Structures are given as structure tokens and as C-alpha cells.
Amino acid sequence: MQRDELVDYCLTKPGAYLDTPWADDVVVKVAGKIFCFLGTPSDPLGVTVKNTREGVAEWRDRFPGHVRAPRYLNKGSWNRVDLTSPAGPDDDDIRELVDDSYQLIVQALPKAKRPG
């Protein structure tokens, strides 16, 4: 998956929008909450997404060379996924990770702030 495809997929989620809260770092938010960290356009392609504790462990076990704990975030709730190396998560896996992250963030929102 290319960067533009990843951004486009993230933006298909109801209420999703891009933001750059730290210089060039691009994130995708819903109702003011980040569900995907995309990094800067000059960074190697990757995404940081939220998951359940079980999901975090499962993805790290499935793709040990591609999925790791991110810097600066809760290591039990977020994964950094490298999308540049061969034999890593495929496009369907990436969409699943984005979907799960979005759902977890939306479910934690007050009902009045949930999209759609």
C-alpha cells in the first residue's frame, strides 16, 4: 500500500480528517482523537495504530520484523507498523489494523461525539 492509498483509506472512515499537530507529522483523527499516526511524508512508509492488548501482541507475534512498540505511546495499546519491507502485513492487513484502531477510538468517544 502506498502512502496516498493509506491516507485515502483512513479518510473513508466517517468523521475522519487529517491534522498536523507537530510540524510535518500527519495524523488522522475522528472527533479530535487520533486513530492513525502516519509520520512525515519524508519518513519511511509506516502507520501507528491502536489495538486491544491481545491484538497488539498478536500482530507483533505475526510480523515480528514489521510490527513493534511505538515511541512515546502506550506500548500495550499501540503498534508501529513498517510498510516498506517485504513479507510484512499486506494491504488487507493494513486495512484491518486501521479499521480496528478507528473502532476502538470511536467506541471510547461519548455517544454525542460519535460520527454517524
pLDDT, tens only, 43-57: 889 999 999 999 999
pLDDT less than 50: residues of the chain: none
For cell 479499521, the residue is: 99
Q: Is residue 115 part of a domain?
A: no
pLDDT at 85: 82
pLDDT at 111: 95
pLDDT at 23: 86
pTM of the model: 0.94
What is the count of structural domains for the chain? 1
What CATH number is associated with residue 75? 3.90.1150.30
Order of strands, sheet of 67-68, starting from the edge strand that comes earlier in the sequence? 16-22, 25-30, 33-39, 46-50, 78-82, 67-68
Question: pLDDT for 91-103, tens place per residue?
Answer: 999 999 999 999 9
Report the length, in residues, of the chain: 116
Domain that holds residue 98: 3-109
Q: Is residue 47 part of a domain?
A: yes
If residue 101 lies in a helix (H) or strand (E), which one and from where to where? helix 91-108
